[in-house]
Amino acid sequence: MKTLFIDDEIKYIGSQLAPHWIYKKFKIQGDSIVAFCGECEVKLTEMVDIEDVINNEPIYSKCMLSFITEQFNIELVEGVLRQRLLITTIKEVLESRGFKVKRNGDDLFVNDKKLSVSIATKSLTSVLIHTGINILSEGAPIEVSGLESDLGIKDIKEFALEVMKRYSDEIDDIILASTKVRGV
């Protein structure tokens, strides 16, 4: 799996969760994960999560670290499992730095405040995952935790690179492990 941290600030509005967005924007073909920082504002019209639409819960963060991954030749259930693996990877990176993090499904919490948003969906050709981690907690419509404002993590790029490397290595290792067994 290929990885890229995008240094340019990008406002995540939901439309980036689209097939071949990574390929078209950054010329990375195939299974990949990218990360970038910027404001996050997903209006109900761009929401993939129908439950959030029904509950009238748009997403907003003044500053968020976003991960987008596109993975091919898998079904949605496997995509959701990979989404949970990404969430667990983020949790493990934070815990390795001494933070106490709670996971509930695809959500992470620090001090009982929501740290993340995440969704997995299926396109005609791939599974797409967006996971956002608040950098700043100010300005959110609900009480949230932020990597910088609450946890004191200043080097967001370094954090993102570690998450992407661990996640990419894990996916690659899972695929490799599937090739070393004989059928029974």
Read off the pLDDT of residues 90-104 as tens digits, 9 standing for 90 and up: 999 999 999 999 999
pLDDT at 55: 84
| Residue 52 in this model has a pLDDT that exceeds 90 | no
What would the pLDDT profile of 101-115 be if each residue is shown by its tens digit?
A: 999 999 999 999 999
Do the domain assignments include residue 171?
yes
* DSSP, residue by residue, 32-73: EEEEEEEEEEE-GGG---HHHHHTT--EEEEEEEEEEEEEES
| Domain enclosing residue 68, as ranges | 2-177
Q: Which two tokens stand for residue 111?
A: 């001090």
**CA 167, CA 164: separation in Å to the nearest integer?**
5
- The residue type of 90 is I
Tokens linked to 117: 């948003």
Instruction: Return the closest-CA partner of residue 59 out of 105, 5, 25, 13.
Output: 13
Per-state percent for the chain, helix, strand, coil, to nearest 5: 30, 30, 40
Instruction: For residue 161, give the CATH number of its domain.
Output: 3.30.930.10
Quick one: 28 exposed, middle or buried, by C-beta within 10 A (0-12, 13-18, 19+)? Answer: middle
Confidence of residue 57 (pLDDT cuts 50, 70, 90): confident
Q: What is the mean pLDDT of residues 23-30?
A: 98
DSSP strand pairing (107-110 vs 126-134): unpaired
Question: Which phi and psi (to 5°) does residue 45 adopt?
Answer: -70, -20
Number of domains in the chain: 1
Residue 184 lies in a domain: no
Share above pLDDT 90 across residues of the chain, in percent, rounded to a whole number: 88
d(CA 103, CA 10): 27
- Decide: 8 and 34 in contact? Cβ < 8 Å: no
pTM for the complete prediction?
Answer: 0.95
Q: What pLDDT score does 136 carry?
A: 96
Span 131-160, average pLDDT? 95
